[in-house]
Amino acid sequence: MLTVRESYEALYNGFRWNVPERYNIGADICDKWADGSEKPALVHETDDGDIHRYSFDKLRALSNRTANLFAAHGVRRGDRVAILLPQQPETALAHIAAYKIGAIAVPLFTLFGVDALRYRLSDSGAKLIVTDAAGAEKIAQIREHLPQLDVVLCVDGAARGAEDYHRLLHAASASFAVADTLAEDPALIIYTSGTTGAPKGALLPHRSLLGHMPGVEMSHDFLGVEGDLMWTPADWAWIGGLIDILFAGWHLGIPVVARRFAKFDAEEAFDLMARHAVRNVFMPPTALRMLRTVDNPARRWKLNLRSLASGGESLGVELLQWSRENLGLTINEFYGQTECNMTASSCSTLLDVKPGAIGKPAPGHRLAVIDRSGNVMPPGEQGSIAVHAPDPVMFLEYWNNETATREKFIGDWLVTGDLGVMDEQGYLTFVGRDDDVITSAGYRIGPGPIEDCLLSHPAVRNAAVVGKPDPQRTEIVAAFLVLREGYRPSEKLTRDLQQHVRSRLSAHEYPRQINYVDSLPQTATGKIIRRALRDADN
For 182-229, the pLDDT digits (tens) are 999 999 999 986 544 578 999 999 999 999 999 999 999 999 999 999
CA dihedral angle for residue 297, residue 300, residue 304, residue 307, rounded to 10 degrees: 0
263-314 tens-digit pLDDT: 889 999 999 999 999 999 999 887 888 898 899 999 999 999 999 999 876 6
Predicted confidence (pLDDT) at residue 516 exceeds the cutoff of 90: yes
Considering only residues 203 and 523, tell me which one the structure prediction assigns the higher pLDDT. 203
124-175 tens-digit pLDDT: 999 999 999 999 999 999 999 999 999 999 999 999 999 999 999 999 999 9
DSSP state, residue 247 = I
Report d(CA 206, CA 215) in Å as an integer: 17
Report d(CA 288, CA 280) in Å as an integer: 14
Please classify residue 343 by burial: count the beta carbons closer than 10 Å to its beta carbon, then call 0-12 exposed, 13-18 middle and 19+ buried. Answer: buried
- pLDDT value at residue 524: 42
112-124 tens-digit pLDDT: 999 999 999 999 9
Report d(CA 402, CA 409) in Å as an integer: 12
Question: Which of the four pLDDT bands, split at 50, 70 and 90, describes residue 454?
Answer: very high
Helix (H), strand (E) at residue 370: strand 367-370
- pLDDT value at residue 353: 84
DSSP state, residue 346 = -
**Hey, what long-range contacts does 521-528 have (CB within 8 A, 24 or more apart)?**
528/464
Domain 438-537 sits in CATH at: 3.30.300.30
CA dihedral angle for residue 359, residue 364, residue 369, residue 373, rounded to 10 degrees: -170
DSSP assignments along 51-96, one per residue: EEEEEHHHHHHHHHHHHHHHHHTT--TT-EEEEE--SSHHHHHHHH
Report d(CA 427, CA 120) in Å as an integer: 37
Question: Which of the four pLDDT bands, split at 50, 70 and 90, describes residue 315?
Answer: confident
The answer to whether 428 touches 357, Cβ cutoff 8 Å, is yes
Question: Which of the four pLDDT bands, split at 50, 70 and 90, describes residue 433?
Answer: low
Question: Which of the four pLDDT bands, split at 50, 70 and 90, describes residue 179?
Answer: very high
The answer to whether 57 touches 40, Cβ cutoff 8 Å, is no
Domain 8-12+22-421 sits in CATH at: 3.40.50.12780
Residues in the chain: 538
Three-state SS for 406? helix
Question: Which of the four pLDDT bands, split at 50, 70 and 90, describes residue 456?
Answer: confident
Report d(CA 92, CA 155) in Å as an integer: 13
Where in the chain are the domains?
8-12+22-421, 438-537
458-486 tens-digit pLDDT: 999 888 999 999 988 889 999 999 999 99
- pLDDT value at residue 82: 98
- pLDDT value at residue 195: 43
Query: In Å, how far are 30, 178, 281, 424 from 223, measured between CA atoms?
Result: 18, 28, 11, 28
Q: Which of 13-27, 289-303, 423-437, 499-513 has the lowest mean pLDDT?
A: 423-437
Report d(CA 133, CA 150) in Å as an integer: 18
Q: Which residues contact 415 (CB under 8 A, 6 or more apart)?
A: 370, 384, 385, 386, 408, 409
Helix (H), strand (E) at residue 101: helix 89-101
Q: Residue type at 172? A: A
Question: Which of the four pLDDT bands, split at 50, 70 and 90, describes residue 448?
Answer: confident
The answer to whether 460 touches 451, Cβ cutoff 8 Å, is no
Report d(CA 498, CA 478) in Å as an integer: 11
Predicted confidence (pLDDT) at residue 525 exceeds the cutoff of 60: no
Taking alpha carbons only, the member of 203, 243, 262 closest to residue 78 is 203
The answer to whether 12 touches 363, Cβ cutoff 8 Å, is yes
The answer to whether 14 touches 5, Cβ cutoff 8 Å, is yes
The answer to whether 82 touches 126, Cβ cutoff 8 Å, is yes
54-112 tens-digit pLDDT: 999 999 999 999 999 999 999 999 999 999 999 999 999 999 999 999 999 999 999 99
Question: Which of the four pLDDT bands, split at 50, 70 and 90, describes residue 529?
Answer: confident
Considering only residues 447 and 118, tell me which one the structure prediction assigns the higher pLDDT. 118
Report d(CA 408, CA 45) in Å as an integer: 40
Helix (H), strand (E) at residue 444: strand 443-445
- pLDDT value at residue 120: 96
Q: At what angle do helices 114-124 and 491-504 cross, to 10 degrees?
A: 30
- pLDDT value at residue 50: 95
* Preceding amide of 469 cis, omega within 30: no
φ, ψ for residue 294 (rounded to 5)?
-90, 130
